[in-house]
């Protein structure tokens, strides 16, 4: 009897980046409430977190709008039909992931304790290995020299 090659998880069922973001937010809340370690900011200084939070939300909305205008996918597991180099993609090759990091940093500031900050760099590392590197390989395969030229002129984060 021949072995069937059934993927462990169908391609359409892989968790998308927002799932990781919401999991990170949950982790930050758990750390803040159960293991606050040390208070580093109090009201009204915790309101400074609104700035990175709002900037992160803006980056995500602006990048999403560019994907829609270019009529290409925003999903990391699907092949892009066009290489977006304008708008927020002029300052970062990964403005949506950068936006997620800023959202998390804003929430960590608003929490006011030290422990939620443990999640921020961990989240960045996970995004790098789970999404950014595979996406950039796919973009290089799809767009070749155009991707390499873009990559040479725009930083990965900022």
What are the b/e assignments for 116-136, b being 16+ CB within 10 Å?
A: bbebbeebbebbeeebbeebe
**What's the pLDDT score for residue 146?**
96
Residue that the structure tokens 């950039």 belong to = 136
Q: What is the mean pLDDT of residues 6-15?
A: 58
43/112 Cα distance (integer angstroms): 8
pLDDT tens per residue, range 60-106: 999 999 999 999 989 888 888 999 999 999 999 999 999 999 999 99
CA 58, CA 43: separation in Å to the nearest integer? Answer: 24
Q: In whole angstroms, what is the distance from residue 34 CA to residue 32 CA?
A: 6
**100-133 confidence digits (pLDDT tens):** 999 999 999 999 999 999 999 999 999 999 999 9
Question: In which band, very low, low, confident or very high, does the pLDDT at 12 lie, cut at 50, 70 and 90?
Answer: low
Q: Which class is domain 16-153? A: mainly alpha
The secondary structure of residue 117, as a DSSP letter, is G
- In degrees rounded to 5, what are phi and psi of residue 113? -115, 165
Q: Is the pLDDT of residue 5 over 90?
A: no
Q: How confident is the model at residue 11 (pLDDT cuts 50, 70, 90)?
A: low
Q: What is the pLDDT of residues 15-42, one digit of tens each?
A: 999 999 999 999 999 999 999 888 887 8
């Amino acid at each position: 009897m021949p072995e069937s090659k059934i993927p462990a998880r169908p391609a359409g069922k892989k968790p998308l980046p927002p799932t990781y973001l919401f999991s990170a937010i949950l982790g930050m809340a758990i750390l803040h409430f159960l293991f606050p370690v040390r208070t580093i900011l109090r009201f009204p200084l915790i309101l400074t977190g609104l700035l990175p939070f709002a900037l992160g939300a803006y980056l995500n909305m602006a990048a999403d709008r560019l994907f829609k205008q270019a009529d290409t996918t925003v999903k990391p597991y699907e092949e892009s039909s066009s290489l977006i180099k304008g708008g927020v993609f002029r300052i970062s090759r990964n403005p949506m992931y950068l936006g997620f990091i800023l959202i998390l940093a804003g929430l960590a500031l608003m929490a006011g304790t030290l422990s939620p900050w443990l999640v921020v760099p961990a989240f960045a590392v996970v995004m790098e290995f789970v999404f950014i590197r595979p996406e950039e390989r796919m973009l290089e395969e799809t767009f070749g020299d155009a991707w390499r030229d873009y990559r040479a002129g725009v930083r990965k984060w900022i």
